Structure 1
Amino acid sequence: MFIPKGAFARAAASEPGGSLQPPIRTDDLGSAVIIVGAISVSITTIALALRLWARAQSNKWSFWWDDWILMVTTLFSHGFLALNMAWTRLGLGKHVENIDMASLLPTIYMSKASILMYAICIYLIKVSALLLYARVFNRSKRFRLVLRWLGGAVTAWFLCTALVPWFNCNPIRKTIDPFVPGVCFDRMDWFLASAFINAAIDLTILIMPLQQVWKLQMTTRRKIQVTLVFLLGYW
């Protein structure tokens, strides 16, 4: 979170002897954030409703854990999007130098809450996909064992993603209050590592069912169609 640094730099530049201020940037992407958030809420709501409707029409399968977790995921996703849309009132979408100092602490709180809700959403999506595989390919003990190990890796990734942002400074209190004396660390390496691990886990989840699908007794064309269904379903 670099807002404190920018805000303090702006304040320092206004003092006598301070460095010259850069050209004022007045563009604001807050309205774009709201539009994208509203569209995302609509799309995810429609997609979830269609999935639940399709499941309700099936006489063979009833609702299972992957369905319930996906519904919980949607609630967190809507909360995450609503939080970011509300955040625009405090300056989300604006350049750092245009954010009011009075909004500094609320902005940091919003940022931390947003990161946490994002991590929960991503985690639940992965868990829902793994549970779907466990339901569809429940006859393979080896496959289910791999699912358990991957579920453990996903949980470990989630805990790191959710907890590390709260321990970025020394003392810890400075993580949410930049006015507390102390030192904060550069988190770029952590962001890159987290993104790489997240991408690797997603790729693993995507390719996991392929071996099971291609073992089925069906035509090659049908196998390709089923494979695309799994790939598009997770994306």
Structure 2
Amino acid sequence: MSADDSAADLAELLEQPSLEPPIGVTPDFDHNGGSHTVGYFVVIFCSVLSTLALLSRLGSRIALRRIRAEDVFLFIAYGLFVGYVYVIYEWSIYPGIRVHLWNLPLKNMENFLYGVHLASIFYGLAIMFLKAAILMDWLQIFVPTGQRNLLFWVLHILIWSNILFFASGTLIELFRCHPREKIWNPLFEGGSCPVDIKANNMASGLINLVSDLAILLAPQWVIWRLNVSRSRKIGVSLLFVIGIFATACGITRLVVLFELMASPDELYYIPDIGLWGIGEMTAGFLIIGIPSAPKTIKSMPGSDSVTSLLASWRRGSAPTNNRDVMPPPRSPLTRKPRGLWEISDTDTFQLVSVKSASATQHVQPGSTEREVSV
């Protein structure tokens, strides 16, 4: 066969569907049935929320004039998140969400598979840095300085296990085929791919879900031991409802992975998995960003004027009586009450005492209690 004949055969092959359609189904490359709106909405909405959460955290750190290791991890996670979102956004443009593989010509399959490879790398590294940032931040918030209590060790185990797991998973994705071009080129001949990537992704999804649940539940027992009112405990605990959403995204992502394992129609399921991954990471950014919002708002120019204006409107709308009542004297030492959601750094918000996790510890006369901000 001549070179021209080989080139003609290859060109004809590239125009064929990427997967043989079911009996009675005709491939349609021009009207593939994909949804674009869902992808655009999830990408834009979650990107805005994640960016606002990051800016909230940045504002609080600027106000404190302090940047810690978890803040660096958070910025790295955000950069990787942007790369991940860009891949999903490209899929939303073409071919769309929930497109069957037989409606995609083989010539476009390489770009799709290369995007899957990039998205897998971005997701693993972004989740690794994001979870590390959250857990390191909780070490500062919930573990009193110098203590080595149960929560201290639980958080450290979660930090290092997540780093080891996602770092190893990223290396597996990078080098699962030899040569690497075989990962994304469906026409590459030769080489080998010894890793069963579907089974690996399923195991990764299960471990990631367990990690989400552990991160969600770890600080709850500390929150309910805080020496504050029950209503404030409930308010602080409700902040972690966002963690429930992250866990729900992880569960749904795992369900779609099960469906993917039972089907060769990769194009139909993988973009869905990508969208749920965006939701999971967005919840992570909100978990670390929302507690910083009160400090950021208070540090903004004009925030005191707005607060005073709202307070004056509230006083003006309050019912009055005809008796002249002398207002009680205001003590100059009275502190402004903290907002319900202010749970940031110990040097930022009012401190409350918390009992030690060990039942055998006692406060010695003349010593000071350990304190943690809520």
TM-score range, shorter chain: 0.7 to 0.9
> In the aligned structure 2, how far is the partner of 1:95 from the partner of 1:70?
36
> In the aligned structure 2, how far is the partner of 1:220 from the partner of 1:181?
65
Q: Report the number of matched residues.
A: 222
> In the aligned structure 1, how far is the partner of 2:38 from the partner of 2:107?
24
Q: Does 1:153 align with 2:161?
A: yes
Per-residue deviation, 1:78? 1.8
Q: Does 1:35 align with 2:41?
A: yes
Cα distance per residue 1:9-51 (max 9 Å; x no partner): 44xx8xxxxx856244621223432332122222211222233
Unaligned runs of 5+ in 2: 1-13, 243-285, 289-374
Cα distance per residue 1:76-116 (max 9 Å; x no partner): 21221122212445535332122232222222211100111
> In the aligned structure 1, how far is the partner of 2:95 from the partner of 2:228?
55
> In the aligned structure 2, how far is the partner of 1:151 from the partner of 1:29?
38
Native 8 Å contact 2:124 2:166 kept in 1:
yes
Cα-Cα RMSD: 3.1
Q: Which residue is 1:86 aligned to?
A: 90
Q: Which residue is 1:130 aligned to?
A: 135
- SS in structure 1 opposite 2:73? helix
Q: Does 1:64 align with 2:55?
A: no
Task: Percent identity, please.
Answer: 22
> In the aligned structure 1, how far is the partner of 2:172 from the partner of 2:57?
34
> In the aligned structure 1, how far is the partner of 2:181 from the partner of 2:90?
25
Q: Does 1:116 align with 2:121?
A: yes
Q: Output aligned runs, 1:188-227, within 5 Å.
A: 188-227=198-237
Native 8 Å contact 2:18 2:103 kept in 1:
no
Native 8 Å contact 2:74 2:130 kept in 1:
yes
Larger RCO (CA under 8 A, 6+ residues apart): 2
> In the aligned structure 2, how far is the partner of 1:41 from the partner of 1:88?
14
Structure with the larger helix share: 1
Per-residue deviation, 1:121? 1.6
The structure with more radius of gyration: 2
Residues 62 and 21 (structure 1), Cα distance of their counterparts in 2 relative to 1, 3 Å cut: same
Residues 211 and 20 (structure 1), Cα distance of their counterparts in 2 relative to 1, 3 Å cut: closer
- Give the partner amino acid of 1:191: N
> In the aligned structure 2, how far is the partner of 1:8 from the partner of 1:48?
40
Q: Compute the TM-score of the two structures, normalised by the length of structure 1.
A: 0.77
> In the aligned structure 2, how far is the partner of 1:8 from the partner of 1:218?
61
